[in-house]
Amino acid sequence: MSIEGGGDRPQLSQKRKEMVDSGFSGGRKLYGDSYNMWGRVHFCERPEDTEKLSPLPHYRQNMEEAKFSDGESRYPQAEIEYVMELSDPASVAAFDQLVDEFNADLERIKREKDFEAAQRFDNRAHELIYRKG
């Protein structure tokens, strides 16, 4: 990732800014890329799939902790800050609340192999992230 200098903090390159902007296309209030963390939940289609589920991080935490396979941070700090500037605070709070609800119900979901509940959480996350306007 190229970061342009200037000011007190590093700035994103125009190319990366455009990429982030596209993640908010159509008036989205949350970064579309944030849906990736729900991948295991999304692909939970059978009772035995629930065993693979693990707790999810909050919106900002997800970006701060995401790594490429080589261990490099997926989101440089300048990009995280830009995403947070574009993110609607009320939608971020709703996202984090949904994560908290999922994490609180996770052990029950796994114990009861309740893949339907996992799918309901995934549907709610999809609606929240991709809602426009």
- So what's the pLDDT on residue 132? 75
For 133, residues 6+ apart whose C-beta sits below 8 A from its C-beta are: 26, 27
- On whether the CB atoms of residues 79 and 60 are closer than 8 A, the answer is no
Rounded-to-integer distance, Cα 47 and Cα 105, Å: 15
What's the maximum distance between 2 C-alpha atoms anywhere in the chain?
54
The DSSP secondary-structure symbol of 4 reads E
Q: Could you list the pLDDT tens digit for every one of the 133 residues in the chain?
A: 444 444 555 688 999 999 999 999 989 999 999 999 999 999 998 999 999 999 999 999 999 999 998 989 999 999 999 999 999 999 999 999 999 999 999 999 999 999 999 999 999 999 999 987 6
Helical ranges in 66-114 per DSSP H = 77-86, 89-112
pTM beyond 0.75, yes or no:
yes
